[in-house]
Structure 1
Amino acid sequence: MNKIERVDAVLNGRRPDRPPVSFWYHFAPECAAGKAAVEAHADHMKKYDLDFLKIMDDNRYPRIGLRDGVISDAGDLERLPVLNGDEDRFGLQIELIEELTRRFRGEFRMITTVFNSWTVLRQMVAPESEKHAPPVIGETGDPRDNALSRLLRQAPEALGRALNVITESLAGFVRNCLAAGADGIFFSVRDDWMETLEGGRGMYDRLVRPSDLKILAAAREGAFNLLHICGRAVDFERFAAYPVHAVNWADRYAGPSIASVADWLSPALCAGLNNLGTLATGSPEDCRREAADAVRQAGERPIILAPGCTFDPATVPPENLHAIRSFVG
């Protein structure tokens, strides 16, 4: 099988010649766009001979219409315009997809990262930052969550409107990404942030789930849409019902385990590697054992071997990543 056939087999519930594998990390800030971004992705694929490419998107949502580039009050929420999905930094990501498509079309599946509307809004209540890190599980007291709680109390209608604006803009962006050549999207969602907000557990379903589904509807023509559940899901089953081809989550440090969902999770499995633990602190043999354990837990289900989130290249030895790739053959 070639790489596309291998991934597609898993997405369609068939056992491939071997488990597909991929992993990803945030490149240096200067590699977010342009030729440097293309080369960073190309070098990563060549170095590890991965089965599909997650196109990183560190270009961020365009902060058009905001005073000082930050959402601080209801007025800022009201000023957000609906975007076509090709403006400003959206355009940089589309250009990256187009160039990667020209270079690699037909070799492997390429899916581009899209953060959901709540993640975008959460980013925009704080100044922009080039810092990236794997998720912190169980974090509380983040100033961004405090800012959103205040906005929910003071301006719920304006906040709802802003989410709708961001949703429409992201839907347009997704359609443009597919037109540029992306095979689908790597759609990042997270619900544990909502637990700290007034309204609690039901807040996600009321505010964010409709937005998630609209964005996924824009991606429905994609051949490979992968849902990434970031952090520790409060309601994993909610996300399991999303219309996607595969689900990626941190089974090792956040749960649930692969074995506990293999019998009922409808989308394909994409998990098994501990980016916060074994990849960073284990030996190559530990990494091979972890990959083998993931395949064992999946049982009769085919699986795509992948980490629960980005790995940190400053702490993860390349030999551990090579060990995982060599494990699958």
Structure 2
Amino acid sequence: MNKAERVIAVMKGEKVDYVPAGFWFHYKPEYTVEEMVDAHMKLYRETGMDIIKIMQDYMYPIVGEIRNKEDWYEVSVKDTSSEEFCKLAAVIKGIRKQAGDDVLLFQTMFGPFKAASIAFGDEVLMRYSKEAPEAVEAGIKRIADGLQKWAEGFLDAGADGIYYSAQFGEEGRFSKDEWERLVKPFDLQILQVAQERENKYNILHICGEPEYEFRTHPEWFADYPGDLVNWSVKDNHLSLTDGKAIFNAKLLGGMDNKGNILRGPAENIRKEVEGILDEFGTTGIMIGADCTIQGKDIRLDYIKEAVDTAHNYLTREEQK
């Protein structure tokens, strides 16, 4: 099996020759295309990971300002001919050229609601969501229409799928009815792009926000289309084993993104990975972290330790 075949086998629930793994962290948004490509390839080559998640941190180029509720009906997203999109597409093409076709590339995307939060501020977005939900709904739909074209463009540029950060299901932010009106339909609009294409995939990351202590409602996302699903085990107190009963998908994750993978030592990393696989088994799982690795002095040798441990893991039966 090559790396792409191995991850696809995980998605299908098939037996793999070894458990794959993948980790990521943020890069400076001011990186040039070449610097961004080089940074991703350095992580990939030095750790032996099994996928490449393209971590391009940027502001979505949303056009418009919100001064009153009527402004929501006029917002839009720059199209795929824009300088902003073209830079992202160039990074995908650059990574594909260097990495080849034996590994899957996933472009990170945030949802239309998050895009609005970045553009207009969370306070503004939440205030209008409560005071004028019909206007916000119209505006988020306009943003979703633009980002749908971006998702299509990412796949056309060579990405094998979308790594989708699904947010705004945090505990205490919205009622489920509000969330199902303002957030869910537009998440699904983006996720359906890869879902409807042959040999394209979605990785669903259920993400919380720091002001809500990263606590969210993972069960709200149970019917989202994801070939792999990832959430914060530590923040939501939902183990991979318990989550397996919620999601009709295979799982990615298990490791504390601010714990051993960041601080070490290597022995603790090995024990954490082995403990996850002892509990969950080796089918239908890719080892990863709760979220992006966050903190200072991220060490590639620690990431490599986690990857190597997953690759070399022997089940309890095999150890006998």
Question: TM above 0.5, one fold?
Answer: yes
SS of the aligned residue for 2:258 comes to coil
Match 2:285 to one of 294, 298, 303 = 303
Q: 1:261 to 1:62 in 2, by over 3 A?
A: same
Aligned residues: 304
Deviation at 1:264, TM superposition (A): 5.1
Distance across 1 between alignment mates of 2:131 and 2:275: 49
Name the counterpart of 1:134: none
Name the counterpart of 2:3: 3
Name the counterpart of 1:107: 102
Q: 1:250 to 1:305 in 2, by over 3 A?
A: same
2:118 matches 1:116: no
Distance across 2 between alignment mates of 1:192 and 1:264: 16
Deviation at 1:5, TM superposition (A): 1.3
2:40 matches 1:44: no
Match 2:188 to one of 209, 213, 221 = 213
Q: 1:8 to 1:79 in 2, by over 3 A?
A: same
Asked whether the 8 Å contact 2:46–2:300 carries over to 1, the reply is no
Asked whether the 8 Å contact 1:61–1:90 carries over to 2, the reply is no
Name the counterpart of 2:303: 321
Deviation at 1:223, TM superposition (A): 2.6
Asked whether the 8 Å contact 1:85–1:174 carries over to 2, the reply is no
Asked whether the 8 Å contact 2:137–2:181 carries over to 1, the reply is no
Q: What one-letter code is carried by the residue in structure 1 that aligns with 2:61? A: P
Deviation at 1:218, TM superposition (A): 1.5
Name the counterpart of 1:137: none
Match 2:231 to one of 249, 256, 263 = 249
SS of the aligned residue for 2:107 comes to strand
Q: Deviations over 1:211-253 (max 9, x none)?
A: 1111111122153310001124643223121122110111133
Provide the aligned C-alpha RMSD in A.
2.1
Distance across 2 between alignment mates of 1:317 and 1:117: 33
SS of the aligned residue for 1:149 comes to helix
Q: 1:320 to 1:63 in 2, by over 3 A?
A: same
Asked whether the 8 Å contact 1:59–1:90 carries over to 2, the reply is no
SS of the aligned residue for 2:93 comes to helix
Match 2:202 to one of 225, 235, 242 = 225
Q: Which moved more, 1:72-81 or 1:115-124?
A: 72-81
Asked whether the 8 Å contact 1:187–1:228 carries over to 2, the reply is yes
Distance across 2 between alignment mates of 1:151 and 1:208: 14
Asked whether the 8 Å contact 1:246–1:270 carries over to 2, the reply is yes
Name the counterpart of 1:270: 252
Unaligned stretches of 5+ residues in structure 2: 209-213, 313-320
Q: 1:247 to 1:11 in 2, by over 3 A?
A: same
Q: Deviations over 1:88-121 (max 9, x none)?
A: 3122111211222222231210000010111111
SS of the aligned residue for 1:15 comes to coil
Name the counterpart of 2:151: 174
Q: What one-letter code is carried by the residue in structure 1 that aligns with 2:20? A: P
Asked whether the 8 Å contact 1:185–1:219 carries over to 2, the reply is yes
Q: What one-letter code is carried by the residue in structure 1 that aligns with 2:101? A: G
Distance across 1 between alignment mates of 2:40 and 2:151: 20
Asked whether the 8 Å contact 1:186–1:225 carries over to 2, the reply is yes
Residue identity over aligned pairs, in percent, reads 28
Q: What one-letter code is carried by the residue in structure 2 that aligns with 1:286? A: N
SS of the aligned residue for 1:50 comes to coil
Name the counterpart of 2:178: 203
Match 1:97 to one of 78, 92, 95 = 92
Match 1:184 to one of 148, 157, 161 = 161
Q: State the 4+ residue runs in structure 1 displaced beyond 4 angstroms.
A: none
Unaligned stretches of 5+ residues in structure 1: 127-143
Q: What one-letter code is carried by the residue in structure 2 that aligns with 1:252? A: K
Matches within 5 A, 1:38-187: 38-64=37-63, 66-67=64-65, 71-81=66-76, 83-126=78-121, 144=122, 146-187=123-164
Asked whether the 8 Å contact 1:62–1:88 carries over to 2, the reply is no
Distance across 2 between alignment mates of 1:6 and 1:100: 20
